[in-house]
Amino acid sequence: MGKVKVGVYSFTCCEGCTIVFVEMLNKKFDEYVKKIDFVDFRALKPSKDIGNTDIAFVEGAISTYDQIDRLKEIRKKTKKLVAMGAAAMAGYPSDHRNRFDAAKLKEIMPIVKKLNQVDKVMPLKEYVKVDDEIPGCPIQEEVLIKKIDSYLKNA
Amino acid sequence: MHSFDLDLNDISKIEGHTNMSVKVRDDKVTECHLEISEGKRFFKQAITGMSYDLVPSTMSRICGTCSAAHALCSVEAIENAYDVRVTKQTKILKNLLMNGGHLRDHAMHLYFFCLPDVFKKESVFDFKGELHKWVHDGLDVKDAGTFLSTVIGGRAVHPPFLAVGGFTSFPSKTMMKEAIAKLNQVRGKILDLAEVFYNYRVDFKRKTNYVALFNKDYNYVDGFIKTADGSVISEDRYADYLDRVVLPYSTADAFTWKGEDFVVGAVSRLNLNRDSLHKKTKKDCAKYLAKFPSDSVFDNNLAQAIECVQAVDNSVEYLEWLLKNIKKEKLAKVVPRDGIGVGVVEAPRGTLYYKLEMLKDGTVKKPELCIPTQQNIFHIEKDIAKYVEELLKKKANKEGISLKVEEMIRAYDPCMSCATHFLKIKWI
């Protein structure tokens, strides 16, 4: 059996879930490198274009038009898309701007427009089909390991 | 004579995406811009009007990598604004939380981002055979840092136990003993790492100003702000020296210190405050410390390795104190009033400033932040311009230049995902 192809991707967020992912490897590195080919993982290796994957772990909310395109490409190239953490699942906390009052909106909207950001910060499921979710801000290491192990078992 | 444009795309993790562009005309760098261009999340607006007790956990979400530094810096600013006095135990717990963060973060940067450059490999996944030791050393050192942060803060990312006025939960003696054991286990491995960076020489120097917190025990939380030009100022006066500069090509602002570019981070801390290192660190790192003061950002890597040893020695001493003295303390009483508070901490990548104007009703009226990356922008630009011209004089080819420039940017330790390869070169 070949290795399972995994990608780890990041959108608008603090990238704390990627850190939990990397810290999880403190315990699981040897085991997982035998079973997993990390196709895309910018925290650990040079990033190229989005590769074909069996599982894509995606953290972060969607806040720009460019990100919508990139997310759709990840979706197209993966068999299973997993939303990792509160930003990917629910838009938290970057979606605080969706609830700003008129005065604050007046202050930020010129920047939002200038940067080609979308009017509302949204979770992944607003734009693509999400196959599974791992909750938390950040996600919990034990839950992540359980999920990965179950994906590997069924791969 | 060479003319070309270097475009470094997709540097994220510095509040979103960042690009770097270098224009070379006839072997001279005519333009060198670090453009922070998108991904704004508007945290300053989000906490305006927010109750003080919610601020630390909100601001920690600015950056998972530096979450403890952001949470703690906002706590310091609020405590100063409301004149909250904390106990010795709280101060020690704050320092331990920072030590854990620095240890994990530096280890990630040194083992996983920089060692591949040293060993001429693409990534740690290519560390096979005798190089495999470094993967395991890196994982073990990170694990010790993460464990320490978890024991003290409840979690390594977004520590829930830290609050305005103290901590809401306290480590058990069993956990603290385990932390001491883990720290002692990795100390020798960190010294091996320091030896690698000591021997890895990169030929580059540029004499500039550096800025860092200065104190008697090399802590990352209290002290005065010191500069290479000899100024020593109190934390609350930082705004007299730091000037915000709006960059026409970027949406993030940069900063100057008295109108000039300057650098913050581990190299600056060691340049200015190395006499205050733990005595065990000074003894075992004497050879490495002889390299400082250094005018090369590449020595930031060696500086971080020394700081990992410091984090171990300082933390073990603090944990041993806590084993004898720790008690469950209530949070210090907070009495909101109108006032301005400044918080200054040394985050892993440099001095972080929070200035919070607070109100009597317990809410934030006006926040100001100055993050290390913003302070280093001009310094990065000027270093790269000089380095590219020197490399051209040495007849470096385009691949060589791109790799070297990447390595220089990496030495500044910009946040996580930008530390991998992202250069695209366009030769005209």
What ipTM score was computed for the predicted complex, to two decimals? 0.94
**Are residues B243 and B255 in contact, defined by beta-carbon separation less than 8 angstroms?**
yes
**Cβ neighbours of residue B290 closer than 8 Å, sequence gap 6 or more:** none
Tokens representing A15?
Answer: 């990238």
Contact B122 A26 (CB under 8 A): no
Where does residue B428 rank: exposed (0-12), middle (13-18), buried (19+ CB within 10 A)? exposed
Q: Is A12 close to B16, i.e. CB distance below 8 A? A: yes
3-class SS string, chain B: CCCEEEEEEEECCCCCCEEEEEEEECCEEEEEEEEECCCCCCHHHHHCCCEHHHHHHHHHHHCCCCHHHHHHHHHHHHHHHCCCCCCHHHHHHHHHHHHHHHHHHHHHHHHHHHHHHHCCCCCHHHCCHHHHHHHHHHHHHHHHHHHHHHHHHCCCCCCCCEECCEECCCCCHHHHHHHHHHHHHHHHHHHHHHHHHHHCCCCCCCCCEEEEEECCCCCCCCCEEEECCCCEECHHHHHHCEEEECCCCCCCCEEEECCECEECCHHHHHHHHHHHCCHHHHHHCHHHHCCCCCCCCCHHHHHHHHHHHHHHHHHHHHHHHHHHHCCCCCCCCCCCCCEEEEEEEEECCEEEEEEEEECCCCEEEEEEEECHHHHHHHHHHHHHHHHHHHHHHCCCCHHHHHHHHHHHHHHCCCCHHHHCCCEEEEEC
Positions of chain B with pLDDT lower than 70, given as ranges: 6, 8-18, 36-39, 248-252, 415-428
B125 touches chain A (CB under 8 A): yes
Least confident stretch, A7-11, A45-49, B286-290, B375-379: A45-49
Cβ <8 Å between B125 and A12:
no
Which one of A19, A107, A111 has the shortest CB-CB distance to B65? A19
Nearest CA in chain A to B111: A44
pLDDT, position B3: 76
Residue B208, min C-alpha distance to chain A (Å): 30
Cα(B204)–Cα(B210) distance, integer angstroms: 16
Q: pTM of the prediction?
A: 0.93
CB contact under 8 A, A18 and B417: yes
Q: Which residues, 6 or more positions from B174, have their beta carbon under 8 angstroms from its beta carbon?
A: none
Residue A56: per-residue pLDDT: 98
Residue B416 is predicted with a pLDDT of: 37
Q: At residue A127, what are phi and psi to the nearest 5 degrees?
A: -115, -30
- Residue of A27, A34, A96, A141 to mutate for B, most B C-beta atoms under 10 A: A96
Taking residues A42-59, what's their average pLDDT?
Answer: 87
pLDDT tens digits for range B217-247: 999 999 999 999 888 999 988 888 888 887 7
Considering only CB atoms, A14 lies closest to which of B10, B42, B64, namely B64
Q: What is the pLDDT of residue B8?
A: 63
Write the residue in B58, B61, B417 that is nearest to A10 by C-beta.
B417
- The encoded tokens of residue B309 equal 């040893």
B69 touches chain A (CB under 8 A): no
Are B326 and B303 spatial neighbours (Cβ–Cβ below 8 Å)? no
Rounded CA-CA distance B355/B339 in Å is 11
Nearest C-alpha in B relative to A104? B45
Interchain CB contact of B21 with A (< 8 Å) = no
Interface test with A, best of B18, B416, B424 (most A CBs within 10 A): B416
Backbone angles phi, psi at B260, to 5 degrees: -120, 160
Contacts with B48 from chain A: Cβ below 8 Å: 104
In chain B, where the domains are located: 43-388
Residues of chain A with Cβ-Cβ distance to B253 below 8 Å are: none
Between chain A and chain B, the number of residue pairs with CB atoms below 8 A apart is 128
Is the CB of A23 less than 8 angstroms away from the CB of B104? Answer: yes
Q: How many residues does chain A have?
A: 155
Q: A42: nearest CA in chain B?
A: B417
Which is it for strands B262-263 and B224-227: parallel, antiparallel or unpaired? unpaired
Residue bearing the bigger pLDDT, A48 or B181: B181
Q: In the predicted model, is pLDDT for residue A30 greater than 90?
A: yes
- Closest residue, chain A, to B113 (C-alpha): A44
Residues of B in contact with A117 (CB under 8 A): 38, 40
The residue behind tokens 């994990």 is B104
Q: Could you give the 3-state DSSP secondary structure of residue A136?
A: strand
- Report the distance separating Cα B414 and Cα B376, nearest Å: 10
For chain B positions 327-356, those within 8 Å of chain A (CB to CB) are none
Answer whether B181's CB lies under 8 Å from B320's CB: no
Q: What is the fold, at CATH topology level, of the domain defined by B43-388? A: Cytochrome-c3 Hydrogenase; chain B (1.10.645)
The Cα–Cα gap between B76 and B78 comes to 6
Nearest CB to B123 within list A23, A45, A93: A45
Instruction: Give pLDDT tens digits for A68-91.
Output: 999 999 999 999 999 999 999 999
**What's the CATH fold of domain A4-154?**
Rossmann fold (3.40.50)
